[in-house]
């Protein structure tokens, strides 16, 4: 009994002591104020600002990879990676056509990113640890999950890497491809000669002249080259996947605001497909009662693009002018194109693929 009174009195003493400290603090003008939530104010970064000032986005692209990035005789660029540049221009400037394309080789990527010659790169680029750090890059979410393959003449009848022992394999310089093929051959104890060229046109010329027994690069690149060759049936993509090649856009890590815009534009393309919002039906969704869709499209005073200091309804511009991820894929690479690619792993997570957007909230 006595013990219980003791505990109660001790608790009372502690409570009174705590209250007096709180009263003293409340009266003391020098005491640190209790933290209160300050409203978030978006800071537009230097790359976003220069895009806004210039009125156009400078995008580093491939000009030699039909389906992903190529240029026609009229100087017009098109392809899956090119559409990603267009989506970012629509997000920042409200105009998907406000893009200056800068064709770059694989090896030029780190230099043009560091010099600020381009605002971003969308050029079949693999996200790796060393590039993320050494290049001072921020990679956006992967837009195309790929792997490295090998292509040879169909009549050579090559099936495994062992069939290439002692041969010459060709690829382009400054790529993940060089290291992957070297690892794959060395780990099997297979001798070979690696010959690299500045770009893939040169690789294919050497191959067609019989100076390479096989060429190696991303499977998407091989499919592109095979589909646009004079005689596609003469070429054979071997049934091998040598590596993981998660391809996507990148920008300089010096501007996290711009990198966020690129990141959420890609997420938005994926999310739009998941919601079933397309360039054709976007207007019907503007009056949607669904709070998730209102937030996504920045309707009904819900913040969206305002988080980055750009148009609050940035995703409306993107979807209306460029379409959702599925539209971009199908237009450039899908069953109705010469490439005839199936979605495979590049499908939404809800269809068994790897594409998954974090929530817009």
Ligand X SMILES: N[C@@H](CCC(=O)N[C@@H](CS)C(=O)NCC(=O)O)C(=O)O
**64 binds ligand X, rule: CB under 6 A:** yes
Among 217, 299, 302, 317, binds ligand X (CB under 6 A): 217
Burial string for 108-123 (b: 16+ CB within 10 Å, else e) reads bbbebbeeeebbbbbb
What does the alpha-carbon distance between residue 88 and residue 318 come to, in Å, rounded to a whole number? 8
Q: Largest alpha-carbon pair distance within the chain?
A: 102
**177 binds ligand X, rule: CB under 6 A:** yes
What does the alpha-carbon distance between residue 142 and residue 144 come to, in Å, rounded to a whole number? 6
Q: Which stretch binds ligand X (CB under 6 A): 41-49, 158-166, 214-222, 275-283?
A: 214-222
Looking only at residues 116 through 135 of this chain, which bind ligand X when binding is defined by CB under 6 A? Answer: 124-126
**293 binds ligand X, rule: CB under 6 A:** no
CA distances from 213 to 1, 210, 271, 289 (A): 94, 7, 43, 60
Q: Do β-strands 69-71 and 77-78 pair in parallel, antiparallel, or remain unpaired? A: antiparallel
What does the alpha-carbon distance between residue 360 and residue 313 come to, in Å, rounded to a whole number? 12
Specify the residue, 217 or 271, whose C-beta has the smaller distance to ligand X: 217
Smallest separation, CB 142 to ligand X (Å): 11
Closest residue to ligand X, based on beta-carbon distance: 221
199: left (phi over 0), alpha (psi -120 to 50) or beta: beta
What does the alpha-carbon distance between residue 288 and residue 259 come to, in Å, rounded to a whole number? 29
Among 70, 122, 138, 172, binds ligand X (CB under 6 A): 172
Among 70, 175, 180, 257, binds ligand X (CB under 6 A): 175
**221 binds ligand X, rule: CB under 6 A:** yes
**274 binds ligand X, rule: CB under 6 A:** no
**245 binds ligand X, rule: CB under 6 A:** yes
Among 83, 119, 199, 213, binds ligand X (CB under 6 A): 199
**218 binds ligand X, rule: CB under 6 A:** yes
Which of 244, 46, 253 is CA-nearest to residue 135? 253
- Residues 6 or more apart whose CB falls under 8 angstroms from that of 333 comprise 67, 80, 220, 339, 341
Counting residues that bind ligand X (by CB under 6 A) gives 19
Residue 17 has phi, psi (to 5 degrees) of -60, -45
Among 51, 57, 61, 65, binds ligand X (CB under 6 A): 65
Specify the residue, 64 or 169, whose C-beta has the smaller distance to ligand X: 64
**176 binds ligand X, rule: CB under 6 A:** yes
**106 binds ligand X, rule: CB under 6 A:** yes
Smallest separation, CB 128 to ligand X (Å): 8
Contact assessment for residue 148 and residue 218, using Cβ atoms and an 8 Å cutoff: yes
Specify the residue, 91 or 204, whose C-beta has the smaller distance to ligand X: 204
- Interface positions with ligand X (CB under 6 A): 62, 64-65, 105-106, 124-126, 172, 175-177, 199-200, 217-218, 221, 245, 247
């Amino acid at each position: 009994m006595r013990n219980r009174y003791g505990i109660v009195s001790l608790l009372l003493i502690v409570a009174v002591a705590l209250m007096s400290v709180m009263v003293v603090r409340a009266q003391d003008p020098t005491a640190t104020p209790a933290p209160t939530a300050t409203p978030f104010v978006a800071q537009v970064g230097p790359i976003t600002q220069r895009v806004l000032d210039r009125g156009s986005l400078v995008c580093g692209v491939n000009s030699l990879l039909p389906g992903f990035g190529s240029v026609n005789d009229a100087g017009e660029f098109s392809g899956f990676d090119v559409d990603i540049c267009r989506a970012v221009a629509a997000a920042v400037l409200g105009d998907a056509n406000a893009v200056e394309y800068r064709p770059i080789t694989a090896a030029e990527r780190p230099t043009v990113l560091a010099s600020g010659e381009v605002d971003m790169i969308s050029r079949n680029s693999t996200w790796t640890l060393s590039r993320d750090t050494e290049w001072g890059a921020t990679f956006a979410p992967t837009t195309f999950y790929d792997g490295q393959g090998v292509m040879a003449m169909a009549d050579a009848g090559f099936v495994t890497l062992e069939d290439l022992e002692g041969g010459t394999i060709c690829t382009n310089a400054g790529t993940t491809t060089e290291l992957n093929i070297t690892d794959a051959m060395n780990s099997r104890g297979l001798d070979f000669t690696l010959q690299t060229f500045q770009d893939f046109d040169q690789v294919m010329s050497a191959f067609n002249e019989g100076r390479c027994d096989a060429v190696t690069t991303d499977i998407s690149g091989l499919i592109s080259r095979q589909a646009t060759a004079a005689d596609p049936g003469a070429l054979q993509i071997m049934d091998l996947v040598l590596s993981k090649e998660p391809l996507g856009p990148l920008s300089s890590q010096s501007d996290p605001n711009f990198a966020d815009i690129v990141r959420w534009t890609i997420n938005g393309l994926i999310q739009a497909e998941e919601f079933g919002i397309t360039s054709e039906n976007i207007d019907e969704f503007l009056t949607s009662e669904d709070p998730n869709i209102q937030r996504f499209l920045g309707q009904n005073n819900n913040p969206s693009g305002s988080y980055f200091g750009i148009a609050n309804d940035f995703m409306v511009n993107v979807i209306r002018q460029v379409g959702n991820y599925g539209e971009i894929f199908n237009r450039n690479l899908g069953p109705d194109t010469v490439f005839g690619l199936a979605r495979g792993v590049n499908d939404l997570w809800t269809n068994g693929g790897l594409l998954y957007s974090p929530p817009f909230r």
